[in-house]
Amino acid sequence: MFRKLIPALLLTSFALVLTATGMAQTVKSHAAGAGATLRVFDPSLIDVSVSPCDNFYQFACRGWIKRNPLPADQSYYGRFSELYDLNRAHLRQILEQSENAPNRTPNQQKIGDEYASCMDTSALDAKGIAPLQPMLDQIAAFDSIGQLPALVGALQRKGVGIFFEMGSSPDYADSSRMIAFYDTGGKGLPERGFYTRDDAKSAEIRREYLAHIAKMFTLAGEPADKAAQDAAAVMAFETKLAEASLTATEERDPQAVNHPSDVATLSRQMTHFSLSDYLKADGGPANGKINVTQPKFYAALNDLVASTPIETLRAYMRWHLLHSYASTSLPQSFGQENWHFYAHILNGAEQQQDRWKTCTSRVDHEMGDALGQVYVARYFPPEDKQRTLDLTLAIEQAMSRDIDSLDWMSAQTKAQARIKLHGVMNKVGYPDKWKSYATLTIVKGDAVGNQMRVSEYKSARDLAKIGKPVDRSEWEMTPPTVNAYYDPQENNVNFPAGYLQPPFFSAKEDDAANYGDMGSTIGHELTHGFDDEGRQFDSTGNLKDWWTKGDEAKFNDRVECMVKQYDAIEAVPGVHLNGKLTLGENLADLGGLKLALLAWVLKAQEEHVDMAAKMDGYNPEQRFWIAYAQQWCSETRPEALRTQAQTDPHSPDEYRTNAVLVDMPQFAKSFSCKPTDKMVSLKPCQIW
C-alpha cells in the first residue's frame, strides 16, 4: 500500500517510534534497574570533565551515556527511547485491559483481539504458513504476463510491497485535491545505493541479503538448492529495479518527482502491463490525473516484466509475500530470520525485542486512532494542548521577526514568506475527528487474516480519497507517537500527544529548558517550510516558485556552506555524511534553534529574568543550550550509523548538537569559548 511521504520528520529512522505516554514521569532505566526521572534539563547527565567548548554533546550527555549502555535488543537508544519505553508500557496496559474487559466497545474488541492474536506464538507456530497458502497458490498459478497486473493489484491490497507503489497524495499543482501518485517500490534493501555501491561493506550486505532471502524460502519449504537459485533471481531483479530508480538525495527534490500525467497516458506507455487490469484488482481509479514520480522507473519496469522469466517473477512475489508477513504474523522462525537480517546485520542489534513490544507497535500502527482515543483520555489533558499551542505561537512570532531582519532577502520575497508563515496550521496532540474502524473485522487467533484485512481497509480508505478535496485535519501519525513533522503540501506542523512530555517538555521546568528543547523542535518543523525542499511550496501547499531569482541564488549560496560542513563529517570509518541528503534536516535544526532562542530571549526580557542567576549550577542561557543538547543524548551501533549515513536525511545525534551549535555564535558567548576552541567557527553557516 502506498504511504504518503513526509519529508520533514523530526527524528531519525532509528528513533522513529509509535508509542503512547503514561501518567507517571518516573521510569526504571533499562540499565541496572535504577530509578530515573525524565527531566528536560538534567544536571546529572552532564560530565564536567569535558569542556563545553571542546565537545558540547559529550559535556551535556556523557553522564547519560555512562548510565545507559545500549540494550542488546536495540541498534539505537536515546532520550526518545526512554519516553518510548515508558509510553509503550502504558500502551501494553491499555491493550491487555482491552483484551479482557467486560462489555467491550467495538474498538476495545479490535485492539484487544489483535494484540492477543499477535502474542499467541504457539498458535502461529502450529499453523505454519498455511494461512498464506491461498496467496501462495495464486502466485504458483501465475503462468503468463497477461495475468500479472491483476495478481499485483490483489497482492498490493493485502500489503505486499511489490514492483511499485500507488496511492493518494495532494496534487503538486493544486494542493486542495487528492490525486493518484505512482511511485517506485518493490525492493527489500533500504535504498538504491545498497544495490549499486561497490565498496566491500556493501558487497557483504548484499551477500547477507541473498542468504536471508534463501533462508526465508527454505523456512517456507523450498529445498536449499532451489531456494538459493530463487534468491539469486530475486536479487538480480531487484537490482534492476534499483538501477532504474533515483537516489535518496535525488528524491529530495520535489521537482525531480513531479511528472503530472493521467491514467490513459500511463496505460498507453505500459505496453506489457495492463494498468486497467491492475486497477480493477487494486481498486484504484480507472481514469483521471496522476503523478508518475519517476517515469524512467516505469519505463524500465514495463520492459522488465516482459523480459523476465515467469519463474523469476513468481519467486520475487513469493519472497515479498513472506517478507511482508514475517515479523508478527508467521511462525517465530520467520520473525527470527527477519530480525537477523534487518535488525542484526543491517543495524547491529544483538537480540530480539520482547514479543509484547513488537505486538504493541503493530496495533498502534494498524489502529492508532482506536488506541489513541484511550491514550488521550487518560494521559493528555487539555492544558497540555494549550501550553503547546502557546509555545508554538511564540516561535511563529519569532520567525516573523526573523524574516523581517534578514539582510539578504528582498522585500518582495519577505512578503510572500510572511504569507506562508501566517498560513501555517498548528495541529497539536490528536485529530479533531477520529478514524472509524467500523468496517474492519479483527478475529482473535487469526494474525495473518487480521493483517490482510487491515491492509485492505487502509488501502481502500486511501484510494477512496483520490479525486476528492484534501482533508487537512487528518494526521499522518498516531496520537501516541513520539515524533513530529511538517507537511509541505498542507503547510501544517504536527505534534502528537505522545511526544509532548518529559524529557522534551514539562510545565514543572523553566522556560530556558522548555524553549531549548521543545521550542527548538517547534522551530525545526516551522523551518522545514523554508528549507531547500519546503521553500518550493507556497502558502497553500502548491509546488510554486514564490522567490525572486536573486533571492533564490542567495539562498543556494548560503546553504552550500552547510552542504560542505556536513560532507566533511565522517560518521563511521570510510563513510561520510551526505550534505545534500541531510540538508533539509540540518537547515531545520539550525533554524529551529535560532527561532527558539529569539522567542525565549524576548520572553525572558518581558519577564525580567535575571540572566546571571544560577539554577543547578548554570545560568538561564547555559540551561537553554544544555536542554537543547540533552534531547539528543543517545547511543547508536556502528552498523546502524553506517546505514543512517547512507540512507537517512537526518544527521546522527552528536552532529545534530555540535555542528548546529558551532554555527551559533551566541552559544560560544554563553560558555566563554575562545576563537581557537573546537566548538567555535570563524565562518559559521548562517541562513535564517
Instruction: Confirm whether 641 is domain-assigned.
Output: yes
Q: Over the range 579-597, which residues count as b (16 or more CB within 10 Å of their CB) and which as e? A: bbbbbbbbbbbbbbbbbbb
Global pTM value: 0.93
Q: Are residues 389 and 309 in the same domain?
A: no
230 in Cβ contact with 319 (< 8 Å): yes
Q: Are residues 164 and 266 in the same domain?
A: yes
What CATH number has the domain bearing residue 252? 1.10.1380.10
Instruction: Confirm whether 97 is domain-assigned.
Output: no
pLDDT at 688: 86
Instruction: Confirm whether 113 is domain-assigned.
Output: no
Instruction: Confirm whether 359 is domain-assigned.
Output: no
Beta strand pairing call for 634-636 and 76-78: antiparallel
Q: Are residues 73 and 176 in the same domain?
A: no
* Positions of E strands within 465-558: 485-487, 492-496
Distance in angstroms (rounded) separating the CA atoms of residues 351 and 299: 42
Q: Are residues 604 and 494 in the same domain?
A: yes
Q: Are residues 556 and 635 in the same domain?
A: yes
Q: Are residues 75 and 192 in the same domain?
A: no
Distance in angstroms (rounded) separating the CA atoms of residues 321 and 139: 10
Number of domain units in the chain: 2
Q: Are residues 523 and 622 in the same domain?
A: yes
Distance in angstroms (rounded) separating the CA atoms of residues 34 and 81: 16
pLDDT at 507: 87
What does pLDDT average to in each consecutive run of 10 residues of the chain (688 residues)? 50 38 31 60 97 98 96 95 92 95 95 98 98 98 97 98 97 98 97 95 97 98 98 98 96 96 98 98 96 98 97 98 98 98 96 96 97 93 93 97 96 97 97 96 98 98 97 95 96 96 93 97 97 97 96 97 97 96 97 98 97 96 98 96 95 97 97 97 93
493 strand-pairing partners: 426, 486
pLDDT at 34: 36
52 in Cβ contact with 46 (< 8 Å): no
Where does a domain end: 293, 310, 329? 329
Instruction: Of 566, 576, 574, 560, give the one whose Cα is nearest residue 645.
Output: 576
Q: Are residues 57 and 157 in the same domain?
A: no
pLDDT at 13: 40
Distance in angstroms (rounded) separating the CA atoms of residues 267 and 278: 10
pLDDT at 9: 59
Q: Are residues 172 and 24 in the same domain?
A: no
Instruction: Confirm whether 349 is domain-assigned.
Output: no
Instruction: Confirm whether 593 is domain-assigned.
Output: yes
Domain with 228, as residue range(s), is 148-329
Q: Are residues 290 and 420 in the same domain?
A: no
CA-based torsion, 148, 154, 157, 161: positive or negative: negative
What CATH number has the domain bearing residue 529? 3.40.390.10
Instruction: Confirm whether 21 is domain-assigned.
Output: yes
Distance in angstroms (rounded) separating the CA atoms of residues 519 and 594: 10
Q: At what angle do helices 332-339 and 310-325 cross, to 10 degrees?
A: 100
The alpha carbons of the chain give a radius of gyration, in whole angstroms, of 25
Q: Are residues 547 and 647 in the same domain?
A: yes
Distance in angstroms (rounded) separating the CA atoms of residues 222 and 218: 5
Q: Are residues 271 and 389 in the same domain?
A: no
Instruction: Confirm whether 528 is domain-assigned.
Output: yes
Helix H segments across 262-409? 263-269, 275-282, 295-307, 310-325, 332-339, 355-379, 382-405
pLDDT at 22: 27
